[in-house]
Every structure is written in C-alpha cells, then in structure tokens.
Amino acid sequence: SKYLDSRLEKEDSFLLYRYMDTTYVDELDKLYLKSNGWMNDIYEGLPKTDVSIEAIKEILPRIKQWMYLKCFTESYDNNLMWAHYANHSRGICVEYDITKLKQNNNKTLELFPVVYKKERMLGIELNELADCLNNIIEEDWVSDTRGVFIQKDFIWKYEKEWRIILNEKLACEYKLEKVKDMYIIKYPCISAIYLGVDIRKEDSEKILKLYGKNVPIYQMGIDNETYNLYASLVNECILKEGNYG
C-alpha cells in the first residue's frame, strides 16, 4: 500500500507481530493465507447492502473464497491478543521487520492497515459479486474490492491490525504456491520471537534450538503489580556465540 511504502521510506525498521500457537514453529518464515471464510468476525467481507438477511445467508457460502488474508498487529505485549490468538498464552508471538523485505527487494505483498468504523462502508451488490466469483458473469470491478477487508467494527480496534490481502488474480501474478486452499508467502524477515507466559517447556526448547542462534528470543512474564506483560531475553549467550547482529 502507498501508506506502507511511505513509512518504509522514513523508518529504519517497521515492526509487525503475529500471534500463533506452536503448530508450525518449523516454518515461521512462511505465511499461509486463508480465505475470508475462515475469519472469526461474522461481518468479515460483508459490505453495506440492502439485501435481506435471508438472502445474505444464501450468498455467504458463495463468497467464502473471495479474498485470501494474513493478519498482523502492532505490539507483542497485548494480553487480549495472547489470550485470543496464541492458545491462551501457551503459544508465541513472531516479530517481523518489514523493512528487511524492502532491503532485499522482496514485495511487501499488499499489506494494509485496518480502519475501524462504527458503520460499514463500501456498498457492493452482493448477488452480482457472488455470480462473478462463481464464474457465472464477469466484471472487472471484482478485482478491486479489497476495501471491504480493510474495514472492521470499532470493537476490534484493540487488535491494531494490519493485513495482507490478495485475491486469486494477484496470487497468480505473484506466482504463489497453493496448498489445501491456502496460498503460501515466504516472509524472510523475522526479527524476534516472544514465548508465551504458559508455553510448554518442550515447545520453548524446540524454538530455541531452531532460531536461538539467529534472532533474539524473549520469555513473556507477568508483572507483580500491574496487568502489564514484560519480555526477558533468554538467548543472549547463544546470540553472542553466533555473532548475531
């Protein structure tokens, strides 16, 4: 996005974070983009419309693969994010320095900040959209409807979300690999990893073994007086041996 490009021009580093469980710790430099039908917001991808609720329920299954998304946030110490997206603090939070993508001439791949509003924006004819996505009719405007996925209800504002948003056409242009209805993006810009307060010992040991020589790894902890979380570096000695930085 133009907004992202302007920030990358001005800032030495631009950090975004992804909370997750420990299922895919072997490949943290890969992002799996799922379709909008997998998202947890019931209004996801639903534009302003005058179509009846009954009609919407019929249309929604036909637009479940309208766009493919991957979500990030702006901080590593958000207690709600740890609870909702990192397996109740048993998972991890991965830090990505987006400026590294630009330095290595990698595309930032359609990364946008989410806008939070009280009301839905961008009216789209849902029946026509569903027909386009199911190859019943063809309209050029369908390729330029990502704005629907950049807007969310104000109640989600605590997430401070950024999103990669791709449709099938863009994914093909970028020549992305597709596996089980997910597009894969290589994202070689990990700059730190944060371990959840309640992460299992075997998971933390595996992450240290895989990434301890290459990036700082922090253990999240609970503050004694406030509701804040703090991070403590756990692999300083390993980093020095590997001459990190």
Kindly tell me the sign of the dihedral angle through the C-alpha atoms of 237, 241, 243, 244: negative
pLDDT values of the chain reduced to their tens digit, one per residue, 245 residues: 666 777 777 777 889 999 999 999 999 999 999 988 788 887 777 777 777 767 767 776 666 777 899 999 999 999 999 999 999 999 999 999 998 887 665 565 688 898 888 887 665 555 666 665 555 445 454 456 777 788 888 999 999 999 998 888 888 888 899 998 899 999 999 999 999 999 999 999 999 999 999 999 999 999 999 999 999 999 887 776 654 44
SS3 70: strand
CA distance between the termini of the chain? 29
Report d(CA 199, CA 181) in Å as an integer: 30
Query: DSSP letter string over 83-109?
Result: HHHTTTTTSEEEEEETHHHHHTT----
Task: Indicate the pTM of the whole model.
Answer: 0.84
CA distances from 186 to 31, 33, 101, 139, 175 (A): 6, 11, 10, 31, 12
CB 163 within 8 A of CB 115: no
